[in-house]
Structure 1
């Protein structure tokens, strides 16, 4: 099922269209084998505004792996992909979602999960990505599932890294942010969150602190509201179950609730021992091994078929 059309305002205009314009020279060059654009930038027209999307992109093969980061994170969450076997065979794309990292953060953008998915769909269409593997972490799992519905048969595989599927997946950070009004969140909760993360002794919190420092508070709050809303709709688990492409749920053994795992019985899962929510940072070697197995396995099966 494709994403619904953007809403129409009273003047009959589409507020949020999906036209795409590429400005960065690195993105407008003809595709070239073995090209690595670590600091590419894309401009996506969005109604009356434009979104500057920061990318890392490596062109290797005809299939594309798109990495979608979580709440408060950036595309750097997935830097390890460029040291994996994926980088030798596939085109890799990691983007900072609007409001996060080095991407733009206009106040008029909604920062809903739906619109984040529309932005990524416009990006993939501009890049002529025909077969797409999605690797999605946390909030990115919700964006990825909505994107997967629009990709339909273009979806090659789906790696869900503790992406929200149930109400229980709404963690303390997103839930408290969503429940607070924006003024309270901006003045008190967001600075407190940054301080707690900065003072944490957990290794994974050091990079998260750097990424969080780049997040726009309005985008973070609006994203939290939408993330919690989607987590409580009761649709995400069913969307995930109905994916026809190969899929795998990856989680940290100290992070995911048994309630969630029971709902995933019979589906491919991979536990990362002694890991928390940021499994990519806690156990990079086993994590990327699982991603390689899932993605390259799907590619191999498709080529044989």
Structure 2
């Protein structure tokens, strides 16, 4: 039998601008404002299901889901998936669960979506943990490959992307690469990556991030301490959290430290 810390799953049927979705969702009711988790490219809602085993989050409600084109979710037109659709999906999920105010956590692609969500409705976001989400052009080390290594067929690009990723220097690269064929539909990659690059290059993301009124924590793996903007955003009021022995994927390389830093931040900001 599930214990009191467990979570439920459901499939949400949604229609967004003519695109039909069946969104695989994990959630738990709890006290106070819930946490909305938005996963990164190549990840799923299960990145955050471990919250239910963390004592610091006992009794906390949360919502996580597989983004369109990812995990167990289904999409009627994979070519229509881009960051704008991901943002619209997040808003629909909040409406479905009747969530007014919430804590926000997003990783990578999910961090970019979370930033746009917080910018869209800043009065609703209590706190924002951005785990290496895109806020500058230099953050497109994965997504810019859609232009650096062009391929006509979605499957050909994705297969080559997986092989490049498998041998990258991130401590979690092989683990991450091995699951990509099961977690992402190849036909969704181009729209997601193209829109991520466009927004990172032209979307004034840094100004939006620094302009948010909520408390912000930018989390990054110590391997990525070279990011050029870290000192600047800290000077402008953003809290930083460097996760040791970790690259871009703290939920795979050092999840205990990731949860500790999220819990500490949210506890100090209304969690």
TM-score (norm: length of structure 2): 0.88
**1:165 maps to 2:135:** yes
Please tell me the root mean square deviation across aligned C-alpha atoms, in Å.
2.4
Give the counterpart of 1:68 among 22, 25, 38: 38
User: Where does the alignment leave 5 or more consecutive residues of structure 1 unmatched?
Assistant: 1-33, 301-305
Task: Indicate which of 4, 17, 35 corresponds to 1:47.
Answer: 17
Cα deviation, residue 291, structure 1: 0.1
Match of 1:83 among 50, 53, 66: 53
Shift of 1:55: 0.8
Instruction: Tell me by how many angstroms 1:150 deviates.
Output: 2.5
Match of 1:190 in 2: 158
Match of 2:233 in 1: 264
**When the two structures are superposed, what TM-score results if normalisation uses the length of structure 1?**
0.79
**What is aligned with 1:291?**
262
**Per-residue Cα deviation, 1:102-158 (whole angstroms, up to 9, x for no partner):** 111332662221221111111101111122111110111110011112232111100
C-alpha displacement of 1:235: 1.1
Q: Is 1:233 the counterpart of 2:197 in the alignment?
A: no
Measured after TM superposition, the shift of residue 256 of structure 1 is 4.4
Partner SS for 1:134: strand
Alignment of 1:18-37 (within 5 A): 36-37=6-7
* Structure 2 gap ranges (5+): none
Map 1:265-284 onto structure 2 (within 5 A).
265-266=234-235, 267-284=238-255
Map Cα deviations across residues 81-114 of structure 1 (whole Å, 9 max, x no partner).
Answer: 2222454132111111000111113326622212
In the alignment of these two chains, the number of paired residues is 266
- Cα separation, partners in 2 of 1:109 and 1:133, compared to 1, 3 Å: farther
Rg larger in 1 or in 2? 1
Structure 1 counterpart SS, 2:246 = coil
**Greater shift in the superposed pair: 135-144 or 198-207:** 198-207
